[in-house]
Amino acid sequence: MKRFDIVVGDITCSDAEAIVNAANTSLLGGSGVDGAIHRAASQSLLEECRALGGCETGKAKLTKGYRLPAKYVIHTPGPIWQGGGLGEPALLASCYRSCLSLAAASGIETVDFPSISTGIYGYPLPQAATVALRAIMDWLSEHELPRRVRMVCHTEAVATIYRQTWNLWYAGEKADRI
């Protein structure tokens, strides 16, 4: 099995064991992928999230997936883009690492990510893709779990940026190891 892939789709339909939610710090739902995940999972997800008492930017918390095909949801609030000088790259990398670390510690084998922070939060896509791919590939080169990670891009245009970024940094020799 390929350990990493970039695909186009709706993450609420994902067959991964865990999907990641680009949440906000309240964990009480919002727009974009967050809203879609809460709608698909049912009100029970909101109730479990309410009991968690929020989450800091760059950290991650785990819930069940309820009516989603995914057994778990890993919620991570991404940074709001403010020009890049306020630690946004480190916070975004931390989102990916925190989710992967939580998944591994929970024995989760397959994880699907959306493109965190690149919607309402305004993180420029090429920069976000570089941070995301580096964090994921670094993790996979050092850990056995999760066995498979995918970037689930909502549109072909987003997937193209991720594929181009992947080709730029990881095509060739390094790719053989993943």
Residues that bind ligand ADP (CB under 6 A): 10-12, 22, 32-34, 36, 78, 114-121, 152, 154, 158
Closer residue to ligand ADP in complex, CB, 38/102: 38
What is the closest distance, in whole angstroms, from the C-beta atom of residue 14 to ligand ADP in the complex?
A: 8
Catalytic residue among 10, 15, 34, 138: 34
Q: Which is nearer to ligand ADP, 133 or 158 (CB)?
A: 158
Would you call 5 a catalytic residue per the annotation?
Answer: no
Apex CA 114: angle with CA 11 and CA 85, to 5°?
165
Q: How far is the CB of 145 from ligand ADP (least distance, A)?
A: 23
Which of 129, 140 has the CB closer to ligand ADP?
129
Per the CB < 8 A criterion, the answer to whether 81 and 124 are in contact is yes
Q: In what order do the strands lie in the sheet with 110-113?
A: 4-8, 148-153, 110-113, 18-23, 72-77, 61-64
CB of 138 to ligand ADP, least distance (A): 21
Looking at beta carbons only, is 120 or 178 nearer to ligand ADP?
Answer: 120
Strand partners, 75: 21, 61
Minimum separation from the CB atom of position 47 to ligand ADP (A): 21
Q: Which residues pair with 4 in a beta bridge?
A: 149
What secondary structure does DSSP assign to 65-81, as a single string?
A: -TTSSSSEEEEEEPPPP
Q: Which two tokens stand for residue 71?
A: 């057994």
156, 8 in Cβ contact below 8 A?
yes
Active site residues: 34
